[in-house]
């Protein structure tokens, strides 16, 4: 077959076939009397082999080596190709995110585009100080894509920069919830923690409560605790078991007790919380430190049942527990006196 026929059959341009010939990659077996390239069936098969290897990302030099060296093994080269392809996809993903961030800002001119690019460069700096300065020095009133800030929140390990980013995100004019909700489902526990903390500071964002509710079942205890505190402050009673567990474990127990006190303003929830705390007090695993923390949580609750539970604790075998409970009974009695107007003027 002549070169034009081969081009039509293989889909490879005549220019590329001549290039293959010049490189010695695919040389026609013979030439016609007139000097035209003449390809045989084995030449055409070699062309298809070359095109198949090119589709995997091999260079022409690598293809030549693969086809000519009988000792050539593809495993190492394929591993290199996988790594190069992953690197290229990562660069393209980053480029796509930058383009989406710029598009989300709805730029009206190149100055807007340059401002967003400058913001992204600052947020990607290796210096935590520069990243924080970038967030804090942004122009007030300028449109900053919430999704860009949300992505930076999820990636930020420095606590000071993370706090500044959450502050900026809460005031960005957008909610960034799509990115944060994806962060709650991340395989990385650190990312899930950052996502929950950011959502906790965005009470009005659509989908925030649902995302926090999902986080209550997270395998990471820190994620669950952050979610429970945020949900409790929103009045969501499904957080009660986790909050009670925090009191028992001594993990953010003061915050948890305060949130339980707020939730107990609902009479139905107050009974539920009181029952849960009483059950923990009766547990054989409740040591003196745990009973003191439970007493501190009880004093935040309303109702006569609380006073009775504390009075029982005032007779606890552990002197420290008894003293704390007695002090809390006095606090409740003083509150009752003030509420009746019996106190000193």
φ and ψ at residue 86, rounded to 5 degrees? -60, -40
Average pLDDT value for residue range 42-50: 88
For the full predicted model, state whether its pTM sits above 0.75. no
Q: Do the Cβ atoms of 72 and 65 come closer than 8 Å?
A: yes
Q: Do the Cβ atoms of 12 and 51 come closer than 8 Å?
A: yes
Q: Residue 2's beta-bridge partner residues?
A: 38
Average pLDDT value for residue range 195-200: 94
Residue 142 tokens read as 């300028």
Percent of the chain with pLDDT over 90: 39
For helices 304-313 and 267-282, give the axis angle rounded to 10 degrees.
10
pLDDT digits 0-9 by tens, 202-256: 877 888 999 999 999 999 999 999 999 999 999 999 999 999 999 999 999 999 9
Q: Where in the chain is the domain with CATH 1.20.930?
A: 235-345
Average pLDDT value for residue range 106-134: 78
| Per-residue confidence (pLDDT) for residue 174, from 0 to 100 | 58
| Per-residue confidence (pLDDT) for residue 54, from 0 to 100 | 86
| Per-residue confidence (pLDDT) for residue 138, from 0 to 100 | 60
Average model confidence (pLDDT) for the chain? 86
pLDDT digits 0-9 by tens, 274-304: 999 999 998 998 999 999 999 999 988 887 8
Q: Where in the chain is the domain with CATH 1.10.1660.10?
A: 3-72
- The answer on pLDDT for 106 being more than 60 is yes
Q: Which of 179, 218, 224, 186 is nearest to 202 (CA)?
A: 179
Q: Residue 38's beta-bridge partner residues?
A: 2, 30
The CB-based long-range contact list for 60-66 (8 Å cut-off, 24+ gap) reads 60/20, 60/23, 60/25, 63/25, 64/23, 64/24, 64/25
| Per-residue confidence (pLDDT) for residue 91, from 0 to 100 | 77
- The answer on pLDDT for 142 being more than 60 is no
User: HSE of 99 in the Cβ direction (CA atoms, 13 Å)?
Assistant: 6
| Per-residue confidence (pLDDT) for residue 331, from 0 to 100 | 84
pLDDT interval class at 141 (50, 70, 90): very low
Average pLDDT value for residue range 308-323: 91
Average pLDDT value for residue range 31-56: 87
Q: Greater confidence, 91 or 281?
A: 281
Q: Residue 261's beta-bridge partner residues?
A: none
Separation CA 275–CA 284 (nearest Å) = 16
Residue 318 tokens read as 């552990």
pLDDT digits 0-9 by tens, 170-179: 887 656 888 8
Architecture of the domain whose range is 3-72 = Orthogonal Bundle (1.10)
User: HSE of 307 in the Cβ direction (CA atoms, 13 Å)?
Assistant: 11
CA angle 25, 31, 33 (to 5 degrees): 165
Average pLDDT value for residue range 302-310: 86
Average pLDDT value for residue range 145-152: 85
Average pLDDT value for residue range 127-139: 79
Fold for domain 235-345? Transcription Elongation Factor S-II; Chain A (1.20.930)
Separation CA 203–CA 332 (nearest Å) = 33
């Amino acid at each position: 077959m002549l070169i034009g026929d081969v081009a039509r059959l293989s889909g490879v341009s005549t220019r590329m076939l001549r290039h293959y010939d010049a490189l010695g990659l695919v040389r026609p077996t013979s030439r016609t009397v007139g000097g035209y390239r003449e390809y045989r069936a084995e030449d055409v098969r070699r062309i298809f082999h070359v095109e198949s290897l090119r589709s995997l990302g091999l260079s022409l030099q690598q293809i030549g080596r693969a086809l000519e060296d009988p000792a050539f093994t593809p495993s190492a080269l394929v591993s290199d190709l996988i790594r190069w392809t992953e690197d290229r996809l990562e660069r393209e993903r980053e480029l796509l995110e930058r383009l989406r961030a710029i598009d989300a800002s709805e730029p009206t001119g190149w100055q807007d585009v340059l401002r967003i690019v400058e913001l992204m460069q600052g947020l990607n700096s290796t210096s935590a100080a520069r990243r924080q300065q970038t967030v804090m020095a942004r122009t007030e009133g300028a449109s900053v894509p919430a999704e860009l800030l949300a992505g930076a929140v999820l990636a930020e390990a420095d606590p000071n920069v993370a706090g500044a980013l959450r502050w900026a995100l809460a005031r960005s004019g957008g909610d960034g919830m799509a990115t944060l909700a994806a962060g709650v489902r991340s395989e990385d526990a650190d990312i899930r923690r950052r996502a929950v903390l950011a959502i906790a500071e965005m009470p009005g964002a659509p989908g925030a409560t649902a995302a926090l509710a999902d986080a209550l079942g997270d395998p990471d205890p820190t994620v669950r605790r952050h979610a429970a505190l945020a949900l409790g402050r929103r009045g969501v009673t499904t957080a009660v078991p986790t909050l009670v567990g925090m009191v028992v474990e001594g993990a953010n127990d003061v915050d948890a007790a305060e949130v339980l006190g707020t939730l107990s303003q609902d009479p139905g929830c107050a009974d539920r919380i009181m029952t849960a705390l009483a059950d923990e007090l009766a547990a054989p695993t409740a040591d003196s430190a745990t009973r003191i923390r439970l007493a501190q949580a009880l004093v935040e609750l309303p109702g006569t049942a609380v006073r009775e539970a504390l009075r029982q604790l005032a007779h606890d075998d552990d002197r420290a527990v008894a003293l704390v409970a007695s002090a809390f009974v006095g606090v409740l009695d003083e509150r009752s006196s003030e509420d009746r107007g019996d106190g000193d003027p």
